[in-house]
């Protein structure tokens, strides 16, 4: 999880996931501990400009891999608590259709350590 340069701005979370379940589902929601809300974003062209938009649910079948990375799909966390500090960890929860959840730990790093995410 990469914090915004300005406290209170959205943070971006990047991760790779591989779905190992037997049941076909779709990844529809995400939650980040310590953030008021979180959503999945991707970049797309709209009105001849590349901009961020909310992602549609991602269909997952056994073996599907999805990566959230800078400049591509990402998880955006809004209303990030000041308690989340660089060097710490938080928990990211991926929620699929039907309500199954999977939580993974995410390391918190300061902005600028990686490519910055801007709006
Ligand atoms: Cu975004």
Range(s) of the domain holding residue 34: 11-107
User: 17-37: per-residue pLDDT in tens?
Assistant: 999 999 999 999 999 999 999
Question: Is 70 part of any domain?
Answer: yes
CA pseudo-torsion sign 104, 94, 110, 82: negative
When divided into structural domains, the chain yields a total of 1
Spatial distance between the Cα atoms of 114 and 35, rounded to a whole number of angstroms = 20
User: 96-112: per-residue pLDDT in tens?
Assistant: 998 999 999 999 999 87
Q: Ligand 1 being an ion, which residues bring their Cβ within 5 A of it?
A: 41, 52, 76
Specify the CATH number for the domain of residue 48: 2.60.40.1890
CA of 50 to the centre of ligand 1 (A): 12
Question: Is 119 part of any domain?
Answer: no
User: If you average pLDDT over residues 59-86, what whole number do you get?
Assistant: 95
CA of 35 to the centre of ligand 1 (A): 14
Question: Is 62 part of any domain?
Answer: yes
Question: Is 117 part of any domain?
Answer: no
């Amino acid at each position: 999880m990469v914090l915004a340069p300005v406290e209170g701005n959205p943070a971006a979370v990047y991760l790779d996931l591989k779905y190992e379940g037997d049941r076909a589902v779709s990844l529809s929601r995400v939650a980040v501990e310590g953030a008021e809300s979180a959503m999945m974003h991707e970049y797309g062209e709209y009105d001849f400009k590349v901009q961020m938009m909310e992602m549609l649910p991602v269909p997952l079948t056994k073996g599907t891999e999805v990566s959230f990375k800078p400049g591509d799909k990402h998880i955006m966390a809004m209303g990030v608590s000041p308690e989340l500090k660089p060097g710490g960890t938080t928990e990211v929860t991926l929620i699929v259709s039907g309500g199954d959840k999977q939580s993974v730990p995410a390391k918190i790093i300061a902005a600028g350590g990686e490519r910055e995410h801007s709006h």
